[in-house]
Amino acid sequence: MLDMQFIRDNPEVVRRAIEVKKFEVDLDRLLECDVERRRLLASTEQLRAERNTLSKAVGKAKPEEREALKTKAREVGQQLAEEEKLLPPIVEELEQLMLQVPGIPAPEVPVGDGEEDNQVLRHWGTPREFDFEPRSHVDLCDGLGLADFERPPRFAGSRAYALKGDAVLLEQALLRYALDVVIEDGFTPVSPPVLVREEALVGTGFFPLGYNDTYRTERGPLFLVGTSEVSLVSLHAGEILDAEQLPIRYVGISPCFRREAGAAGRDTQGLYRVHQFMKVEQVVICENDEETSQKEHLRLLANAERVLQGLELPHRVALACTRELGLGQSRKHEVETWMPSRGAYSETHSCSTLLDFQARRSNIRYRPTKDAKPSFVHTLNNTAIASPRILIPVLEHYQNADGSVTVPKVLRPYLGGRERLEPKA
Which listed residue (51, 249, 258, 365) is catalytic?
A: 258
Q: Is 75 a catalytic residue?
A: no
Which listed residue (39, 176, 259, 273) is catalytic?
A: 273
| CATH for 173 | 3.30.930.10
∠357-189-319 over CA atoms, to 5°? 45
- pLDDT of 155-177, one tens digit each? 999 999 999 999 999 999 999 99
Is residue 275 in a domain?
A: yes
| CA pair distance 111, 403, nearest whole angstrom | 44
Is residue 60 in a domain?
A: yes
- pLDDT of 60-102, one tens digit each? 777 777 778 878 877 888 888 998 999 999 999 999 999 999 9
- Portion of the chain with pLDDT greater than 90, in percent: 86
Which listed residue (249, 361, 365, 389) is catalytic?
A: 389
Residues 79 and 133 in one domain: no
- pLDDT of 6-46, one tens digit each? 999 999 999 999 999 999 999 999 999 999 999 999 999 88
- Portion of the chain with pLDDT greater than 70, in percent: 98
Is residue 416 in a domain?
A: yes
| CA pair distance 212, 142, nearest whole angstrom | 33
Q: Is 258 a catalytic residue?
A: yes
Q: Is 299 a catalytic residue?
A: no
Residues 211 and 172 in one domain: yes
Residues 94 and 173 in one domain: no
Q: Is 108 a catalytic residue?
A: no
Find the domain containing 213 and state its range: 115-421
Q: Is 191 a catalytic residue?
A: no
Does residue 360 register a pLDDT over 70? yes
Which listed residue (234, 254, 293, 350) is catalytic?
A: 350
| CA pair distance 8, 6, nearest whole angstrom | 5
Which listed residue (83, 171, 347, 396) is catalytic?
A: 347
| CATH for 40 | 1.10.287.40
Report long-range pairs for 339-346 (Cβ below 8 Å, ≥24 apart): 339/392, 339/393, 339/396, 340/127, 340/128, 340/130, 340/134, 340/393, 340/396, 340/397, 341/134, 341/135, 341/136, 341/137, 341/138, 341/392, 341/396, 342/266, 342/272, 342/392, 345/315, 345/316, 346/272, 346/392
pLDDT bracket for residue 260 (50, 70, 90): confident
pLDDT bracket for residue 263 (50, 70, 90): low
Residues 302 and 401 in one domain: yes
Structural domain tally of the chain? 2
Does residue 261 register a pLDDT over 70? no
